Structure 1
Amino acid sequence: MTPPTASDRSAFGKANPHALATILEASETRRIISATDIYDIAGVKLWAGNQPVSTSLQRKLLDRELRQPLETSLVAEDGVSAASLALAFEELLGGGSALLPLLQPHAQRLASLIKGLTLHPVAQLLLTAAQTARPEHYAHAVAAMALNGALMAAGGGDDAAVRLALLCGLLHDVGEMYIGPEHGEAEADRDLDFASYQQLVVHPHVGSLLLAQLTNYPADVARAVAEHHERLDQSGYPNAVTGGRCPRRAVCGR
């Protein structure tokens, strides 16, 4: 994967308006709080620690450079957990999904491994926001998690490899929260104008940066997210990598 540039390193220095709007929408029904005091880069305190977020935070963050990325300063106290992911997997199995023939042979093993997944607070925050404000995105993440895990299990992967595949599937579209919802993959089936296409193709890179810079997940997770839309015929994005460079264990994207 290409090393981050200076602009990449500052990508989370300001609150992304689309991600923030989604988090704030979720905060209307979920308890999302500031885990620490939030300061701008000049040391001005913008929000006190241990306080629920609200639309007032959005006004305070407008165009402000932050000392720490906002994503690392917020916690979803009643958010997505390994247990709720396991429940979502059970609902997927019972919902008549077209994926059932692939999932059922490995269902018991996958259910057990999902219950043991470790959710980094940043990933948990964004998944909670998606579950509440963009439920179709969350459902897609759960389905991709299950499919990716099943494919790795079918390929003979050990528990560690299957667990990693589950995480890659779950988080593969995390970067979509950083683009306008009108530009997301749900809109990709229609003809996109150039501006919308530019927005869409950046989400694997944004998701990869987020996981690499703000979480402690293995580098393979960030790489899988970065390359989940690459294709063997070099028609993928964002880098149109050649077949020889496509990752062997790439996450199964849309």
Structure 2
Amino acid sequence: MPSGAAIETDTRQAAMAGVPRHVAIIMDGNGRWAKSHGLPRFEGHRRGAEAVRRSVTAAHELGIEALTLYSFSSENWSRPETEIGELMGLLKRFIRSDLRDLHAKNVRLRIIGEGHPTDSEVQALLDEAQELTRSNTGVKLTVAFNYGSRNEIARAAQQLARQVADGVLRPEDITPERFSDALDTAGLPPLDLVIRTSGEQRLSNFLLWQAAYAELVFLPVFWPDFDRDWMERALAEYGRRERRFGGVEASGS
């Protein structure tokens, strides 16, 4: 007889038959992971960067078309300056060490959010990363940096309002589709699945418009421990869901 692990693997593979096109992850729990291991918070962030690498590789191998990561919210600027400085330093090291590998894997990197109020070196690295990978056709890796969904929605509304004021757009032309095209995520596939680690069960101002009909999976694992196995568990749970988009089941219930 097959082992319990083999049965679980077979079940997971069967459930993953319909792999989502677009997966977003709220990478939560770096600080709590560090505390649980008696380590400084920065070590949690450093291990979290390693989890990012594993996640991009897993997305590439599993056939996920787009992966969007919540790396730094617009509210995170309220954190201590020392921690922000450590996070920016980690971002610099990540781009310098991983950019060529991402490019070699045909990954296209895109940064979304409310501008980037960081030092010029960070901005230059972000621009270089996006430009180098602009023509790549593999996984669409989107990093939400200095991002807040309410702000994104407000900016989209302002953009459309200016077009109405300029006479190039009528109010009745503002459809959900046109509004989506004004968001930072324009051009990405519809969001299918949102994963949040650490056991917390909220969206925390992340992709509020885009997640209207996305499946939500909350995992009891801190982000630094996230790996392909946890990704597969989330995709298996997604595969077991019946997505009706406001409709009804075939039975009519």
TM-score by length of 2: 0.25
Bigger relative contact order (CA 8 A; separation at least 6): 2
TM-score by length of 1: 0.25
Bigger proportion of residues as strand: 2
Larger radius of gyration: 2
Bigger proportion of residues as helix: 1
